[in-house]
Structure 1
Amino acid sequence: MPDRPEIVCICGSTRFADEMSAANRELTFAGVIVVAPGVFRRDDDQGADEVITNEQKTALGALHLRKIDLADRVLVVNPGGYIGESTSREIAYAHATDKPISYTDPFGSGQNN
């Protein structure tokens, strides 16, 4: 048993920002260190003040893989079973690095992995 709290990396579509925030809060109150996306961009958010370039999106994706490296396990936030392209890549990376993976919607867990 480590001397530190468990570290969990939250993965999922940034369209689920509210659900990710709720999972983060629940885990934090349970004494878990949480690493999660730091930037939330919604494709359908026409009024966004901030435009994220393709270069920034690529850098954020690579940064999230490093967050998975730091984690003891991964929690995929996938309401309705939704797993998009970026999340599928993160799940594949977590599998390749032998990280345990759990899902908020277990019925969607077999969809793209």
Structure 2
Amino acid sequence: MPYPHLLTPEEKLADAKELLSLPRIVVICGSTRFMTEMNEAEPRETKAGRIVVKPGCDVKSPHELWSDPGEAGALKVRLDDLHRAKIRLADEALVVGDYIGDSTRAEIAYARSLGKPVRFTHPDVDPDA
């Protein structure tokens, strides 16, 4: 008697999205120096019928929630973990901006390692092109 195929977490998520009739989910990636561009991409993606997730904190801009330099390192780690979770949730990634730094390069590699399509607002910066 063959064993039933056990679904991976990714397959379970895909099935749940289908059962819920969710539209495609796009995660916006890129340097937070491009927060303006991220905020401009969000309504375009929404108008196209996609659910949008993106960075929620721009720690390069002053804010009382991340003003303690002693907590900055731990916050960066938590935010990076949170963004990787958004990439796992998404069906595709949209990279904004005309510059790819180490963090964004890692986000692109992570999305691609999961088989997620990656689009660019500036295709010439694709590190794998």
What TM-score does the superposition give when structure 2 sets the normalisation length? 0.75
Root-mean-square deviation over aligned CA pairs: 1.6
Partner of 2:63: 49
Q: Which whole-Å CA distance do the structure 2 matches of 1:34 and 1:102 have between them? A: 14
Residues 1:95 and 2:112 aligned together: yes
- The ranges of structure 1 where at least 4 consecutive aligned residues each deviate by more than 4 angstroms after the TM superposition are none
Unpaired stretches in structure 1, ≥5 consecutive residues = none
Find the counterpart in structure 1 of residue 54 from structure 2: 36
- CA deviation map 1:17-60 (0-9, x unaligned): 10000001111122210010000122xx5xx2332610000110
Percent identity over the alignment?
Answer: 46
Secondary structure of 1:83's aligned partner: coil
Aligned length: 105
Report if the CA contact (8 A) 2:27-2:86 is conserved: yes
CA distance 1:72–1:49, shift in 2 (3 Å): closer
TM-superposed CA distance for 1:105, in Å, is: 0.1
Q: Is the 8 A contact 1:15 1:41 kept in 2?
A: no
User: Which structure has the bigger radius of gyration?
Assistant: 2
Structure 2: runs of 5 or more not aligned: 1-17
**TM-score normalised to structure 1 length:** 0.85
Equivalent positions of 1:1-113 (< 5 A) are 2=18, 3-42=21-60, 45=61, 48-50=62-64, 51=67, 53-79=72-98, 82-110=99-127
